[in-house]
Each structure stands twice: as structure tokens, then as C-alpha cells.
Amino acid sequence: MSQKSGKDSKALTFAKRTASTLGLWGVVTAGFVSRLGWAYVALIGLLVMLATIEFFRMLRDGGVKGFPGYGILLALAYSVGLYVFLLGDGVPVWFDGLAVFAAVAGAFALQLRRPIEGLASMTGVAMNFFGFIYIAFLFNFAARLVFAVPGPGEVPGAMVLLWGIAVTKFTDMGAYIVGSAIGRHKMIPHVSPGKTWQGFGGAIVFALLAGCGLYTLFREDMPNFSSGLHLLGGWPVVIGMSIALSLVAVVGDLAESILKRSLAVKDSGQVLPGIGGALDLIDSLCFTLPLLFFYVTWATTG
């Protein structure tokens, strides 16, 4: 490939990625403006199901015999049950434990119908459980976060969720833009050959820009405690959490790279031109939003 065609290919990929990103932000903004609880959980649930379907397709393409029907059904049942509880009186303490039990026991029960094929049999069981935890359980912290903040309205934590998404996606954007422009030194080539230390620096800078920028513009719309103290605790927490989320976002992005390289697949899907599939979209959010939820829970109950 000539140098010019390589640059044209990068420019086309960047254009597609930008168009997909703008479209996604349009959908997110529409849901945010609606301020309706069902609109939030519907979008989150859709992404959970698309990503779960893609995950089992990746397993199939990688030669792993899992239990896709059961895995997809479990993700659907867990998500619907969680949303019903969140929109109602809150999630009971037994709910997550029951889901984990169903994920493990159900996969083993289905394996009883198949002949034992050495380690491949345990791999199928383990990957079913992993898929549930990785996608349906972790990404649904987005839904939990919306309702975790005490306050008025159907979605009191909407601004906190938007802040977390913005910091995470700006991390991805910064890594891609800076890495593509000036990336020279490989970061972890055995996992992701395209990741560079320059891109890593760009990821942190862009995360700080998003975190501090949104906090400056929408501070008054962020939730406050009854004492008047801001939920994000002021500039030290905003800066610290922006950096923490960016670091975890990089780990989340590389985690999916490990999965794809292990299964020898390029993308989880082609739903979003320039980005890939739904799992490519939410991989880093599966790590950042639980961390943000844990902070919010600690801040509101501690």
C-alpha cells in the first residue's frame, strides 16, 4: 500500500468514526433531554443485548462452544428485572446473587447434555459466565448510576452518567487522535499493536478536558447533597476522577483487545462504521461506569 493510500484509508476511517460518534451523541442527547427513566434503560438495554449477541458470535467464530441461547436469554432476563426494580422500589439484595447463581448453574446444567471434550467443555461454561459478568452485569451499572443519586425527577443521576460517558469517550477519542497523529512508541504491542504511549497521554489530556469542561459548563445541573456540597466534591475530585476513569477506560479498551486477539477476530460487529460493533462501543464503559457508581455510592452513603 502506498503512503498516500494509507493516509487516505486513515482519513476515511476517521471520517466514518466521527460520523458514528456524532450520531451516537445525538441519540444520547435525545435520551438525556427526555429525562424519562424508561428512555435511559431502553437505550442501555438495547446496547446490552446487541453486545451480548456479538460476544457469542465472536465465541462461535473463535471456535468456542458456549451456550448462546441461554446466555442471551439470561442477559435479557437480568436487564429487564433490574430495570423493573430500578424504576420501582429499588433492587433487592438477593437479585444479583440469584443472577450469578443462574449464570453458573445454568451453564453447567446445559453442559450435562454434551460429551466432555477436555478443557473445551470447561471453556464453554466459563465463557458463558464471563460473558454475563462482562457485559450484562458491568454495563448495567449505567442504569444503576442513573438512579443511585438522591434527588428529584425520574433520573436524578442523569448528569453524572453523562459526565462519566463524556470522560470515557473523550479518553477513547484522545487516544485515537493523538496516537494517529504523533504516535511513535508502542505501548503494549502484544495486545494492541496500534496503541502508543503518545496516544495514552492524549487519552488522559482529553479526559481532563471533558471532565473539567462539563463540570464548568453544567455544575449547577449536577446533583448536590442536602448540605449544599456538590456530589463530585469540587475540582480535586473532578480532576482525580477524570484521571482515574481515563486509566480504567484504557484498561477496558485493552481488555476487549485481549478477547478479540484470543479469539482471532478483528471487530465485534459492524453496527457502527469506523467504530465496529456495540461491544466495541461500550468496552471501556463496562469498566468506567462501575467505578463511577462505586464513588457515587460511597459519597452518598459514607
C-alpha distances in Å from residue 95, one per residue of 52, 137, 254: 20, 11, 30
pLDDT in the model for residue 54: 94
Instruction: Return the domain boundaries, the chain.
Output: 3-301
User: What cell numbers appear for 182 in the block?
Assistant: 504523533
pLDDT tens digits, the chain, 302 residues: what are they? 445 555 555 566 656 656 656 665 666 666 566 677 888 899 899 999 999 999 999 999 999 989 999 999 999 999 999 999 999 989 999 999 999 999 999 999 999 999 999 999 999 999 999 999 999 999 999 999 999 887 767 788 888 898 999 999 999 999 989 998 998 889 998 888 889 999 999 999 999 999 999 988 888 777 765 444 457 778 888 999 999 999 999 999 999 999 999 998 877 666 665 556 889 889 999 999 999 999 988 888 76
Backbone φ/ψ region at 35: left (φ over 0), alpha (ψ -120 to 50), beta = left
pLDDT in the model for residue 295: 92
pLDDT in the model for residue 25: 60
User: What cell numbers appear for 64 in the block?
Assistant: 468456542
pLDDT in the model for residue 226: 46
| Structural element, H or E, at residue 195 | strand 192-196
| Structural element, H or E, at residue 219 | none
pLDDT in the model for residue 228: 43
Q: Is the dihedral of CA 89, 90, 94, 96 positive or negative?
A: positive
Q: What is the dihedral of CA 39, 132, 169, 33, to 10 degrees?
A: 10
CA pair distance 105, 84, nearest whole angstrom: 24
Q: What is the dihedral of CA 285, 286, 291, 293, to 10 degrees?
A: 90
Residue 217 has a CB neighbour count (10 Å cut-off) of: 9
List all residues 6 or more positions away from 270 whose beta carbon is below 8 Å from its beta carbon: 276, 277
